[in-house]
Structure 1
Amino acid sequence: MTPARGPKAPARTTSVKERTTPVKEHPSPAPDRSRALFAGAPRWWMRWLPWGVAFILCVVLLPVQLNLLTSDYGLNGGLASGLAIAQAAPLLPGVVRPLTSWYVIFAADVGGALILLSTDVAKPLLWPFPAPVIVGYVGLCLALGLRERRRTLLLVWFATAAANIFLEFFRPDAVNSNGIVLTVLSGVALVLAAALRERYEVNRRLVEQEAISEAERDRRTLLEERTRIARELHDVVAHHMSVITVQADTAAYRLDDVPPHVQEEFTSIAATARASLSEMRRLLGVLRNEEAKGAELAPQPGLAQIGGLVDATARAGMPVDYRPCEAEVPEAVGLSAYRIVQEALANVVRHAPGAPTRVSLSADGTSLTVLVVNEPPPEPPAGPLETSGTGHGLVGMRERVRLVDGTLEVGPLPEGGFRVAAQLPLTERDLT
């Protein structure tokens, strides 16, 4: 646990009555292929970037291609217009469905190359693909690489290479074919875009896994702390059950003229109490931590032991002002108060060494108030004394206060320092 202790920060109130719901791991949804490229980008300009690039390509390539087909290749206006539109216009919807656009553009490019054979391509003109066709096709390949799977991209490239090989059989003798240029550039675009997409997917999954791991760590910390509290409360409950057993067993000797049927009732109560103790021991065996088995055998602390805890902290060089409380409190409340003070003092030692600290306990008949306040340290520490904390501190405080249906307030003070305040009810009605 590493609570901030910087100055001028508002105090924060944490209610332990709120239930903690563990974060469930949901499988990552399949990519929505009906969405535009970069639709999930965090910045607005990134979401509009594919549309802008596609629009510019359409606006520039369509008139350029139309002019080339009519003036340089000699196609009539109607045929040139239809061919230019089929080769450039699908780039815009390719932002959403690049594979569908590829079918149209691929057929238009191959058909256009065959149509150009009817013109005078003997003069030094590009065949089978004019320059605007190559630019548009490479741009579409980039969109394909950002959206489709490897297998689809491989089939697209093989189709491109096969089409160029097919067109080579129709190449006029006096023309130098540029099909190899389209094949190489389209392959480079597909590989580059696919690599960028896969890198993005890896980073996204890594972020998701880190979030899931953090949630699992928080849940595991909470469960471990609840288990530790349950082990400690075993001694408290076992003490009461033992008292019940002894009282039931000795009733016949302490009381005069106990009727036989009453004696049988006491015997039954004692037997039930012993059976409950046996079941509790089995439960404790399930909850016991093998690494801390020796510590679990020690008596559980309460309000009387807080003074020794404060003295030990003072001997470590921490100025602590302690105001005890002599009130009789339930054992669960005393144990919770002791652990809250213990965690709070440990945090002062870790994060504000040398800071004057005040520990006060007070009871008003209905609740026990535990207050631990530390001032700013004389010299701000360069960093926490411990960097490998378990993260159980605040979690343990909240769970112990929740156990007795109390309230907890933790947070930095405006003038610097830190404050931990807990109210633990004393009445049986509140504890049930």
Structure 2
Amino acid sequence: MRAHPVFGDSLMAGLLLVFDLGTAISASNSVPGSTLLFVGAMMIVPVVFRRKYPLGSSYVILFGGAVQLLTHGNLYDGMPFRLADFALATALYTMVAYVGRRQGLLYAIWLAVGTFVWAVWRMGTNGETAFMVFVIAVVFGFSWAMGEFVGARRAYNRELEQRLKLLETERDQQARIAVGEERSRIARELHDVVAHAVSVMVVQADGAGYAIRTNPDLAEAAVRTIADTGRQALTELRRLLGVLRSEDRSGTQWMPQPDAGDLHELAENCRAAGLPVALGTFGDLDALPAGLGLGIYRIVQEALTNTLKHAGSGASATVRVTQEGDQVVVEVTDDGFGTPHDLVAVSGGNGLIGMRERAGVLGGTLEAGPNPGGGWRVRAVLPLVPA
């Protein structure tokens, strides 16, 4: 009925019509049937459209009440009221709830004037009239109060929906900003690790082209091909890094980045900060590519940082880095009981976004979530050579 308000209002109009037929039939001997039908239609039919056209339908109902007042709204040779008159109370509620308090007050004034004229002119001053006026005032007052309540609730819901949309937009913007910042940081790190290596390869290949004399022509051509290929790769790498950097035009030189061999120092730093860390490395991690070693270090670093922030006092962490065939498995777990990491990430933390971005750049996958037995678990699977 909320999705299709005309359907619900049609049911209300149908009920008014059914109950109004009895009073209309009883007054048909003293009031022309066409008048009864016209007034009934003017007061009941607009109820169907009261929420779609609240202002127009309410004043059509008011006009129908005025016609009733002039034609058959008396005590002796007509009918002082009919059940269709409840549409006036419904219209007052609609004006207050859907149009506004100011328009509702103007509508209430018209109802008060009409009720006063009806009581003095058509009913006469007696105890029965006073009682009926009191009942009408109570009905209209109840309609006004309900309109105020529903109108305030609708206004509150609208404001709440707007705030939720704003918060959702801000969250999406923060996520995009975090992704952009992480991409820029990854671009700078890739520049340090890869671009330097490619530059060295080009220099050495150029030197080899002049050093090898066993088969001078063939060796020199091959090595120069290597040099040309290296230069082309360096140019393409700089182009891609420029896309990742976006508007970052900084010329800052960065010191060499850490790799998997520096995990022991990272674990010692965390222990000094108050987090017991058990580190286990399996396989030949020293022979890993520089980019992969840097990615492993950053993922472990971010996971341990989240543990320090959110796991609570007395928590400990376990780090396992294992080389299994052509891939490296990184797993960081803790036994904390503090703020759930996923709630922190949803509310504005960017650590998980950064770790997933880094794993994706390396061609791997990353999973993060609560442990079945408590605590938090981060697991990344990184290939030695990205597909």
In structure 2, give the amino acid aligned to 1:115. Answer: T
**Cα RMSD over matched residues?**
4.9
Distance change in 2, residues 1:334/1:267 (3 Å) = closer
* Structure-2 separation of matches of 1:284 and 1:223: 8
Unpaired runs of 5+ in structure 2? Answer: none
Q: Tell me the TM-score normalised to structure 1 length.
A: 0.65
Q: Does 1:108 align with 2:64?
A: yes
Match of 1:340 in 2: 299
Look up the SS of the partner of 2:27 in the other structure: helix
Distance apart, 1:337 and its partner CA: 0.7
Alignment of 1:231-242 (within 5 A): 231-242=188-199
1:412 aligns with 2:370: yes
Question: 1:408 Cα deviation (Å)?
Answer: 2.1
1:296-328: per-residue Cα shift (whole Å, max 9, x none)?
712111111111101111222333222224331
Aligned residues: 365
Q: Residue in 2 aligned with 1:363?
A: 323
1:354 to 292, 314, 321: 314
Q: Which runs of 5+ in 1 are unaligned?
A: 1-35, 42-46
Structure 1 residues 253 and 316, CA gap change in structure 2 (3 angstroms)? same
The 5-angstrom pairing of residues 380-419 of structure 1 reads 380=337, 391-419=349-377
**1:98 Cα deviation (Å)?**
5.0
Counterpart pick for 1:303 among 260, 266, 269: 260
Please report the TM-score for the alignment, with normalisation by the length of structure 2: 0.71
- Report the alpha carbon displacement of residue 275 of structure 1 after superposing the two structures with TM: 5.5
Partner in structure 2 of residue 8 of structure 1 = none
Alpha-carbon separation, structure 2, partners of 1:413 and 1:190: 50
Q: How far apart, CA to CA, are the structure 2 residues paired with 1:298 and 1:221?
A: 23
Instruction: Assess if the C-alpha contact under 8 Å between 2:365 and 2:381 holds in 1.
Output: yes
Of the structure 1 ranges 47-56 and 300-309, higher mean CA displacement relative to structure 2 is found in 47-56
| Cα drift, residue 425 of structure 1 | 0.5
Q: Hey, what does 2:40 align to over in structure 1?
A: 85
8 A contact 2:264–2:279 mirrored in 1: yes
**Conserved? CA contact 1:303–1:335, under 8 Å:** yes
Quick check: 2:9–2:48 contact (8 Å CA) kept in 1?
no
The 5-angstrom pairing of residues 154-173 of structure 1 reads 154=103, 157=106, 161=110, 172=121
Give distance in 1, aligned partners of 2:12 and 2:198.
78
Q: Is the 8 A contact 2:327 2:382 kept in 1?
A: yes
Shift of 1:236: 1.9
Query: What secondary structure is seen at the aligned counterpart in 2 of 1:349?
Result: helix
Distance change >3 Å, CA 228–CA 90, structure 1 → 2: same
Contact residue 94 and residue 140 of structure 1 kept, 8 A: no
Aligned residue type for 1:210: L
**Equivalent AA in structure 1 for residue 366 of structure 2:** L
1:26 is matched with which residue?
none
Shift of 1:50: 6.2
Note the alpha carbon deviations across 1:118-152, whole angstroms, 9 max, x for none.
Answer: x67799x96xxx4856542121232355445x69x
Q: C-alpha separation between the residues in 1 aligned to 2:310 and 2:123?
A: 83
Of 233-242 and 82-91, deviating more is 82-91
| Secondary structure in structure 2 of the residue aligned to 1:409 | strand
Query: Which residue number in structure 2 is paired with residue 326 of structure 1?
Result: 284
CA contact (8 A) 2:51 2:98 kept: no
Pick aligned residue for 1:76 from 21, 31, 37: 31
Q: Give SS of 1:298's match.
A: coil
Deviation at 1:415, TM superposition (A): 2.2
Question: What SS class does the counterpart of residue 274 from structure 2 fall into?
Answer: coil
The answer for the alignment partner of 2:91 in structure 1 is: 140
